[in-house]
Amino acid sequence: MLEDLNFLHSSLDNQVCTKPSIHLVLADYHTSGTVKDYLEKAFPVEVLNFKDATHYWQEFKAPEGLFLVIIDGNFAGIELIAKLKQKNLAFKTILITDMPRPGDHLELSRPISYDRLKVLVENIFGTSVKRPEQQSFGGLIGDSTLMQEVFSKIKNAGPRPILISGPAGSGKSSVAEAINKNISGHTINCGHLSPGLLENEMFGPDDGKLGQGGVVYFKDIDKLPLLSQAKLIKHLKNQSVDAVKIVASTRKDLIDFSNAGDFRKDLLNLFGAKIILPSLEDREGDLELLITHFNEKYSAIHGCEGIRIDESALSLLREYEWPENVRELENLIEKLVILHTGSLIETHHLLDKFFKGQILESTPYQLPETGIDLRQLLRDIEDSLIKQALDKTGGNKNRASKLLQINRTTLVEKLKKRKRELNNQVP
């Protein structure tokens, strides 16, 4: 049990911290030290370390303004947070726990995800701890470890051809644009042109795009015919140094393509930097950053107020797999900005696909102790929705069926069946 000590000290005015303050109360010495080192390197903050809740309570000096407590989610930790709340201080809590606990705190499970920790700290303290130069590069947005590695590879790419690989929608064209920034560039879309047109694009009048200098971006280079690959190799070997910079992208594994004879190994070996873009699902911590970016982008483009997303909806977006990656997220945010300008986005604003695999924690119906007639309940729900659809459309069955997302004939059959059932009922 924590000692009931005097919480506020007379010397408070002499203990003001000029930096945002984070207090670590973690029993594991190694974890505590690692988290402290990480936070001090990642943010302009003061990090204070306490070995347990009792020592924290005894040594505490209230900082000025908002502060963060990162604490073990055990009994002593929960008790300490309750005592802090009694003092009406401006603070937030992150519990390190493997068991969800009720309350207005945030939670991290073990082993600690530092990308997730970074997002939580940024959300708590806002711009006072964010370093924008670390979150974007050449128009690309990302603060995760994987994206920081991508930024580093772009910066250190060198003069040799660059290969960008990654799944569909992950941002390969955006990386190419970042490389092309402040340099004249040309794009050759290998997947949309016939072999003859590709040859003309590459080597046509006045040496084609390869003879114009600057950067030439081969989109979907895995679709470049083998003959054109051979000509490209010859051109690159014969050109003067730095005459043209080649950037190429693919969503395929070119090593597998090469082993199968569909891509020339000597062309693959000409690439110096190989930049691999992660899927959005693997970019832990970047989702909220991208949502903010796209929200600001499309509210400005469409001249309207942006959206806000509540925690329940955001939780669904975090757990979604994003098969189309950043492109899918961008399309979603643009639609939400247009359709729900200035609104708080809640779970009912999201499409059904975001609920895949979710277990509903609450429902509009509670199972009575004596059980329930499920067939009758489902029939009542169906009747109610059909009636609402007909009321909304003035009895127009065609429009009502569209609202219910069923065929008109299905709706008509349901109405006929219900009428027969009513006629057969004994008065």
Dump pLDDT digits (tens) for 344-375: 888 888 877 776 544 344 344 566 677 777 88
Rounded to whole angstroms, the Cα distance separating 10 from 316 reads 47
The CA distances from residue 161 to 128, 259, 270, 414, in Å, are 40, 21, 7, 64
What pLDDT, on the 0 to 100 scale, is given for residue 242?
64
Percent of the chain with pLDDT over 90: 31
What pLDDT, on the 0 to 100 scale, is given for residue 359?
38
What pLDDT, on the 0 to 100 scale, is given for residue 367?
66
What pLDDT, on the 0 to 100 scale, is given for residue 9?
35
131 band by pLDDT with thresholds 50, 70 and 90: low
CB 68 within 8 A of CB 94: yes
What pLDDT, on the 0 to 100 scale, is given for residue 182?
62
- Specify which residues 93 forms β-bridges with: 69
Tell me whether residue 283 is exposed, middle or buried, using C-beta atoms within 10 angstroms of its C-beta: 0 to 12, 13 to 18, 19 or more.
buried
Q: Going by DSSP bridges, is the β-strand pair 136-137/140-141 parallel, antiparallel, or unpaired?
A: antiparallel
Is pLDDT of 403 > 80? Answer: yes
Is pLDDT of 25 > 70? Answer: yes
CB count within 10 Å of CB 426 equals: 3
- Specify which residues 107 forms β-bridges with: 95
Compute the Cα dihedral for 406, 410, 414, 416 and give only its sign. Answer: positive
Structural domains of the chain sorted by starting position, each given as residue range(s) with its CATH number in brackets:
12-128 (3.40.50.2300), 152-277 (3.40.50.300), 281-355 (1.10.8.60), 374-424 (1.10.10.60)
What pLDDT, on the 0 to 100 scale, is given for residue 360?
40
Rounded to whole angstroms, the Cα distance separating 98 from 116 reads 15
Q: Report, as an integer, the average pLDDT of 277-299.
A: 89
- Specify which residues 164 forms β-bridges with: 249, 275
The CA distances from residue 162 to 39, 230, 280, in Å, are 34, 18, 22
pTM here is 0.58
